[in-house]
Amino acid sequence: MKRFRQHLLILLLPLLVLSGCGVNNIPTYDEQVKAAWAQVENQYQRRGDLIPNLIETVKGYAAQEKDTLLAVTNARSKVGGLQAAGDLINNPEAMKKFQQAQAQLGSALQRLMVVVERYPDLKSNQNFLALQSQLEGTENRIAVARRDYIGAMQLYNTEIRTFPGRLWHSWLYSDMKIREDYYAATVENADKAPEVKF
């Protein structure tokens, strides 16, 4: 019986040491990255769901602005097609296309808001104001979700690049790759403040 306890202790001791050394950090942080990305997608989906209502509201007031409305609709369709493409988070090329499509959609929405400025009656329409407010809130949520994703990705990458995570990564999790920062500025001249002229 005494010998059995010694063998059990010999087997359990390494497990206890390993559990306290961060061996589980890498998969934990990887799951946090995936959860943060799911939240980014959730907010993009919310934005995509609001856009058709916004377009229909604007259509009644600005029928002659078909090009802008069509650009928003096409950009939204393109984004929807890419979201259905699968696991974007592990495919750098697909992620780049997705980010470009999201940037294009954001640009089209900005053009739509410029169109709205031309129609004072539309700006005072309660449905439009409610939709605009929801869209602005969603854009803020997207920014927060993206920030959280970047933070989770940074934690994950730091863990697999530093000691002891680097050891665990090479021994146990070598199939888990470093995450690339997909959120570099996607808009040209994003580092420059826009000029406002009256």
Dihedral of the alpha carbons of 87, 143, 141, 156, in degrees to the nearest 10: 50
Looking up tokens 């087997």 gives 11
Summarised one tens digit per residue, pLDDT across range 132-181 is 888 899 999 999 999 999 999 999 999 999 988 898 899 889 999 988 87
At residue 116 the predicted structure's pLDDT band, cuts being 50, 70 and 90, is confident
Q: What are phi and psi of 16, to 5 degrees?
A: -65, -40
Summarised one tens digit per residue, pLDDT across range 32-91 is 999 999 999 999 999 989 888 888 877 776 666 677 777 888 888 888 777 655 577 888
In angstroms and rounded to an integer, the radius of gyration of the C-alpha atoms of the chain is 24
Summarised one tens digit per residue, pLDDT across range 170-198 is 988 999 998 887 665 554 555 554 443 42
Cα separation, 41 vs 79, whole angstroms = 11
